[in-house]
Amino acid sequence: MNSFFKRRYVIQGIFILIGLILLGRLFYIQVIDDSYKLSADNNVLRKLIIYPARGIILDRTGETLVQNEPVYDIMVIPGQVKEMDTLEFCRLIKISKNDFDRAFKKAKNYSLYKASLFQKQISALTYAAFQEKLFEFPGFYVQNRSVRYYPDSTAAQFLGYIGEVNEREIEKYNGFYSQGDYIGKTGIEKSYEDLLRGQRGVRNIMVDVHNREQGSFFGGKYDTTAVAGDKLISSLNKKLQLFGERLMHNKIGSVVAIEPSTGEILASISSPSYDPNMMVGRQRGNNYMKLLRDPFKPMFIRPIQAEYPPGSIFKVVNALVAQQFGLISANTYYNCPGGYRYGRRGFMGCTHVHGTINLAQSIETSCNTYYGYTYARMIDQTGMRPVNAYKRWREAVMKFGLGHALGIDLPAERNGMVPTADYYTKSFRNDKWTSSFNISLSIGQGELGITPLQMANVAAIIANRGFYYTPHLIKAIGEEKVVKPEFTKKNNVGVDAKYFDPVVEGMSRVVNAPGGTAYNAKIDGIEVCGKTGTVQNPHGDNHSVFIAFAPRNNPKIAIAVVVENAGYGSVWSAPIASLMIEQYLRDSISRPKYYSDRLLQANLLPGQKKVYVRPSNNKPDSSKSERPVIQPAVVPNKKTF
């Protein structure tokens, strides 16, 4: 009897245990594990993300720089995929069987029950053929998207590009993005991502077991609407940008043009460049690697990332700082015997014997000797220790926007380099050094590093007689044309306006006086003020540099041009700047055709140098075409700078 009762309790215990196990399993399935729910939901309900149109980007005149084009992504829910004709599927979307297997494995590893990207950016034509047979492939559906299109293929480095998010970006934005989403990777696309991306919507669709849509869930009650991204009005002048890119073709360097009264960037050219449409579509990855391997680095954003010693254009900064310190004036004269002697045996040569000259003449003739004496006064003859005088000098120079990022609305801007006093103390192993130890700073050489953007900003400062607005590429945001407040703040450089007069006069003579170093950049009817520079390059030929603004009174444009390995500033950079100034102010070019042809057709790439030679003035043979002659580059006249 007792044995019977014991067996009964054992059997009851077994049933109770089984019941508890089943209840526990049911609780796990219904409450804890959502995979079955996801599978069930996905069998009857599909959530379609509605991607908003990304904000378009216009130039300052309303011309389109970037717009959108529709494309289609194929999505997959691996847990719903059944036996199908895989080869027919591959034929329809134009991929190989290996591509199919690779993409499907990746989707399964991500999730059996959540939708993920299977094939991106198929064309409208491919989509049309695939859509007709979509019902034969359960588990697959099509997601509408848009991609960028660049109608003029211009300003690639400025505009940037978009690409798929990575894990780091998904984490950074707290899950706003998911696998397969696009995000701005570089340029304006990255800087203004939060405004350009818009707000996504959701559409809930009922589907049957054959993957066919059966209408909206609850009549669209739970759907949300996508909101398009904000329109951006850039400061670029598209016509000027395209002209500058033509002038810089087959050259390495930069052009930056700024409107001095606002800080708006009128042109931002990095050469060599590339067609931004290469970074769109299914060949984007291959194109990206091709650009990375290009020895001339077309993806390097030279206007904000390349750093050069400024050369002789830096003399205008030293002239202004020395006047503000009260150490020189417009009527300060120095004698130039052909160079500047310093220390016991040091000698900094000049290009000519200039004789006794004043401040304006020193800029006109680009006299090294004058600035050797000027720099020595600022460092050695102030009544304070040279190391402290140097610190004061450096602080004054940095107010011109040098040695630190200006804050342009682009990522990855470089600071440039204005060496600290500690740098020299460490280099010379004591703090007893004087101007003779770094005299090259007097003429913009040595350890100085300045970006083309900073060079253009210096020209804008002189145009404004002592202040600048932070250079920026977006003029206004959205339909209401909102302007960022940080771009309306005036930055004073700490030099009184009266000290700019002799500097401006000297810069005017550089271009407009027959003895000026950039007389070949003169424009009839427009008083251009400029300064040439020839930057020593230890790795090859010197760099050609020029800064300018125009007109002299009420300036409308300030510009900097750098052409690497091109030699004298007057030969290449000054004429390029001159043409761009005239194009912007007059919307046309008045100079003879050969003036432009020499620049447009020259190839100054390392190892490929060929320059345009003006056709002979003799009457041409009517039986022959008048093609320009191309021959190896020649050394320019040494009178140029």
Give the gyration radius of the chain's Cα atoms: 33
Helices 315-324 and 500-512 sit at what angle, rounded to 10 degrees? 160
Of residues 612 and 47, more confidently modeled: 47
Query: CB under 8 Å to 101, separation ≥6 — which residues?
Result: none
Pairing relationship of beta strands 57-58 and 232-234 according to DSSP bridges: parallel
Alpha helices in 419-558 (DSSP H): 421-428, 452-464, 500-512
Listed in sequence order, the residues at least 6 apart from 120 whose beta carbon sits closer than 8 Å to its beta carbon are 71, 73, 74, 164, 180, 282
Overall fold of domain 238-632: Beta-lactamase (3.40.710)
**Predicted TM-score (pTM) of this structure:** 0.84
Environment class of 16 (CB within 10 Å of its CB; exposed 0-12, middle 13-18, buried 19+): exposed
Query: Rounded to whole angstroms, how far apart are CA atoms 273 and 159?
Result: 12
Least confident of 36-40, 281-285, 561-565, 602-606: 36-40
Instruction: Determine the average pLDDT of the residues in 260-282.
Output: 94
> Among candidates 586, 473, 471, which has minimal Cα distance to 523?
586
C-alpha closest to that of 451 among 410, 485, 396, 501: 410
Joined together, the tokens standing for residue 68 give 């959108």
pLDDT, tens digit, for every residue of 223-268?
Answer: 888 899 999 999 999 999 999 999 999 999 999 999 999 999 999 9
User: Band of the pLDDT at 213, cuts 50, 70, 90?
Assistant: low
pLDDT band at 209 (very low <50, low <70, confident <90, very high): low
Q: Which amino acid belongs to residue 67? A: Q
Instruction: Enter the CATH code of domain 45-234.
Output: 3.90.1310.10
Q: How far apart are CA 247 and CA 602, in angstroms?
A: 9
- The CB-side HSE value for 534 (13 A sphere, CA atoms) comes to 22
Distance CA 430, CA 25 (A): 78
- The larger pLDDT score, comparing residue 569 to residue 247, is at 247
> How many other C-beta atoms are found inside a 10 Å radius of the C-beta of residue 363?
30
Nearest to 75, CA basis, from 145, 144, 141: 141
For the record, the structure tokens of 505 come out as 């006069």
Closest-CA residue to 560 (of 268, 292, 161): 268
Give the separation between CA 475 and CA 168, rounded to whole angstroms.
31
Look at residues 560, 562, 529, 564 and name the one whose alpha carbon lies nearest to residue 547.
560
Neighbour-count burial for 66-84, b at 16+ CB within 10 Å, e otherwise: bebeebbbbbbbbbbbeee
Give residue-wise pLDDT tens across range 69-86.
888 889 998 988 888 999
Contacts of 241 (CB under 8 A, 6+ apart): 59, 154, 155, 267, 268, 269
For the chain, the average pLDDT equals 88
| CA distance to 41, 353, 360, per residue, from 25 (Å) | 20, 97, 91
Rounded to an integer, what distance in angstroms lies between the CA atom of residue 313 and that of residue 394? Answer: 17
Matching residue, tokens 């398009």 = 228
Q: For residue 294, what are its two tokens?
A: 């290009």
Question: What are the sequence ranges of the domains in the chain?
Answer: 45-234, 238-632
Phi/psi of residue 58, nearest 5 degrees: -110, 160
Residue 205's pLDDT is what?
Answer: 77
Span of 201-215, 383-397, 619-633 with lowest mean pLDDT: 619-633
CB 467 within 8 A of CB 493: yes
Check residue 605 and report its DSSP letter: S
- 588-614: average pLDDT: 87
The pLDDT tens digits of the residues spanning 512-564 come to 999 899 999 999 999 999 999 998 887 778 999 999 999 999 999 999 999 99
621 Cβ contact list (under 8 Å, min separation 6) = none
Tell me the DSSP string of 165-181: --HHHHHHTTTSS-TT-
Judge whether residue 620 has pLDDT over 70: no
How far apart (Å, rounded) are the C-alpha atoms in residues 398 and 277? 39
Q: Give CA–CA dist 613/590, Å, rounded.
A: 20
